[in-house]
Structure 1
């Protein structure tokens, strides 16, 4: 009976999140944001698994991660376990301020976004890119990838994230590093130049 109910929920969700297909190659559009985000956790897991060359049905992942209490959303721990069971190594991390770090991973990262209420929280997938200043994000609500400035987007993060890798990792250093403050670098350079100038003056006076 529970499987029948689950199938009906997934069918309604699939029908609710799309408007239709304009052409055979077009991506589908979202009609009901709340319905689309209800299963954002399992959708992100499915997307990450696909990036690692695995194909899994979303209903399988929903049943494992977020059923029967689907209305409460998915926990980061449940996403971690689902990926681990399928051979993807995960490393949970938490950063206090997204602006203070740079994501340098070569593999996808599941990010947790803040919401005005617990039910409004959301998961997305960060994707590797050449630029540290621009974030490439896949959002299950739209099933599209978009780019935007990391500084602005990082303010929407809760700080919790799930790092992924094909190999075991002992620290988050493979994916996260502290951001270097340009002002701090310039202050250090200015101090060094000032000190060098003073030494030059002192040396010239002695000569």
Structure 2
């Protein structure tokens, strides 16, 4: 009897969690085994960070994706890169969004993209230096999470250390993100926000 009740409770939780995502404005997850990201690695041309985004009410939502830049703990007044789009032709829209860095002999090129929209790669300041470490950390996993209307969601951080070591931070914790911004020389935060129109 107890075993049947336990199994029923688990199944109910699974069904309810599925309903919550379906009824939410949007869901996002880290793209697992992204072909685009793998191509970047194989060609050794830079980094690409990709996510799967589902807009459950694409016809009445507005999406903003941007990169915040912090240097020596201070935030730049303007986003490094920003992309906005919305009011899709259908109700449900699924697709990939991402942030890419292409390394060149001069300054690297950064770009953002989403379904049917992107910004042309733009020159960003050189983020590689001798004697420092760089790293990318995802703030979300491969499991879908619901995006709340008007709430900013951190997707990941690209960081440049102050020296010859780099530590890890829990990007799910706001105080850890603040510590990372303070500790590292440069921090680039990839964020998303979905608004209902």
| Global fold match (TM > 0.5) | no
TM-score by length of 1: 0.29
TM-score by length of 2: 0.30
Query: Which of 1 and 2 has higher RCO (CA within 8 Å, sep 6+)?
Result: 2
User: Max radius of gyration: which structure?
Assistant: 1
